[in-house]
Structure 1
Amino acid sequence: MTATDREQVTRALLERYGERSFAEEAEIHLREQPHALYQMLELAALVNARVAPGTAVRTFEELRGHRWSTAGGVLEAGRDRIDHALRDAGYPEGDAAGIATAVTDAALHLQQDHGGDLGGLREDAGHDPVRERELLRHFADVDDGVVDAFCREVQVLWDELLPFADKKALDAAHRLGLGEDAGALRRLAADDREYVRLVDALVRVRHDEHGYRELQELAGHR
C-alpha cells in the first residue's frame, strides 16, 4: 500500500469506528485521578470479554449508575451483586464471574497496597511499562488481555506506555495494510488522543464483519 492508501483507510476507519475511544465513549474523565484510573481498569475488564464493545460500554454505564465504578463502591456492592448485574447485561457466565472477581479483588488490593490509587502502582513500578504490567496482573489477578485493554486507554495519561497497541489491534492493522507495529500506527494519527482512538477503532472493527470487509476492500485486500 502507498502512504496515500494507508491514510485513506485510516480516515475511513476513524470516521466509522474512532470518533471516541472506549474511555471517552464511557465518559470517563481522562485524568490522573484515583476514580478515573480504577474506572479504566473496570472498563478494560468489560471490553476484554466475549461481548461486543458497545455492550461493554453500556454495562460500564449501568455499573456506574449503581455507583459500582469506584474501588469503594465495588467493595460495598460485593462480588455476587456485580456478577448478577453482568449476567443480566448479557455476559457469559464464566466471563461475568471472572470479571466480578477481578474487579472486587483489584479494589481490595488497591486500597490495601496503593492507597486506593493506581497512580501509586505506577510510582511503585518506577514508570517502567514492563513492571507496570507485572504489578497490574499481580494485584488485580487478571490476564494479559485485560492489562492490554487498560494500557490502550491509559497510555494517553501514562505516556511511558506510548505508543501501545495490543495483539487484537495489530492483527486488524495487518489485515488492513496499516502496519505491523505500534510505531507505524502512531505515525498515522495526528496526536496521542487520536492514536488511542485509532487503536480502539481497530479493536471495534473486528466485531463488525461487514465493515471489516469493506475496509479490506478499500485497502485492496479481497
Structure 2
Amino acid sequence: MTRNDLIDALLTEHGRTFAAELGARISKNTPSPLFRLLCLALLTSAPVQADIAMRAARAMGEAGWTTPQKLAGSTWRERVDVFNGAGYARVDEKTATQIMDFNDHLREHYNGDLRRLRAEADGDLETAKRALKRFKGIGDTGAAIFLREVQAVWPELYPFADKAALSAADKLGLPADASKLARLAGQKNFPRLVAALVRVKLAGDIDRFRE
C-alpha cells in the first residue's frame, strides 16, 4: 500500500472531524459553533474517555447551552446533572465549576466571540496557543484539539497537527511532520486526516492499518 492509498483509507474509514461528530458547524465561522468546539476541547482535556467527553459536549447542546450567554444562565446543579447524565461522573462537579470560569473569561475578554481571539493571534500559532491556555481548564491538550479542528476555517493556522496525530502518523509510516503530511493530503483534506489519525489511535486500530 502506498502512502496515498493509506491516506485514502484513513479518510474513508475515520476521516470525520470531531466538530462534525459534535454537530458544530464550524465552517460557518460564527460564535456558537466555535464556542461548542472549545467546550469539547475543555471536556476532552479531563481524564475521561474521548467518547464520554463527546457525549458531555452533546449534552450541553441538548441542554441549550450553545452560546456563552446561554451557559451563563445555567446553575451549578444543572451543569452537574447534565455532565453526570452524560457519564461524565468522576469530574462532573469540578467541571461544572471550571466551565463557568472558562465561560466568564470568554465573555469578559472576547465578548463571547472566539473570532476576537483569532484577530488577537493575527495568524501566529504560538500566540493562539497562549491565548487558548488562558481559559480555565485548557492546557496543551485542549489547545491542540481546538487548533487541529479550527484550522479548517482559520487557514492561517494550517498546517497544524498535534502530538497524538503525529504519533499515529509515525507508527503508520507516514511523516511525523505537519507540513509533510499536509503536502500528501492537501489543505482541504488535512483537518480530516489529522482527525482520522487521532481516531485510529483512540480505536487501537493502528496495527490493522499498518498491515
Give the superposed CA RMSD: 2.0
Tell me, in whole angstroms, the C-alpha distance in 2 between the residues paired with 1:143 and 1:181. 22
Shift of 1:98: 4.9
Aligned residue runs from structure 1 range 32-181, under 5 A: 32-91=29-88, 93-94=90-91, 96-181=92-177
Query: Which of 195, 199, 205 is the matching residue for 1:204?
Result: 199
TM-score, reference length from structure 2: 0.89
Shift of 1:178: 0.9
Q: Deviations over 1:91-114 (max 9, x none)?
A: 3513x4454344322211111111
Query: Which deviates more, 52-61 or 40-49?
Result: 52-61
CA contact (8 A) 1:151 1:161 kept: yes
Tell me, in whole angstroms, the C-alpha distance in 1 between the residues paired with 2:210 and 2:191. 21
Tell me, in whole angstroms, the C-alpha distance in 1 between the residues paired with 2:210 and 2:156. 32
Q: Which amino acid aligns with 1:191?
A: Q
Match of 1:220 in 2: none
SS of residue paired to 2:34: helix
Query: Which of 192, 211, 216 is the matching residue for 2:210?
Result: 216
CA contact (8 A) 2:121 2:128 kept: yes
Shift of 1:51: 4.3
**Structure 1 pair 141/84, CA: closer, same or farther in 2 (3 Å)?**
same
Count of residue correspondences: 210
CA contact (8 A) 1:173 1:179 kept: yes
Q: Which amino acid aligns with 1:207?
A: L
**Structure 1 pair 88/113, CA: closer, same or farther in 2 (3 Å)?**
same
Q: Which amino acid aligns with 2:184?
A: L
Structure 1 runs, 4 residues or longer, greater than 6 Å off: none
SS of residue paired to 2:159: coil
SS of residue paired to 1:127: coil
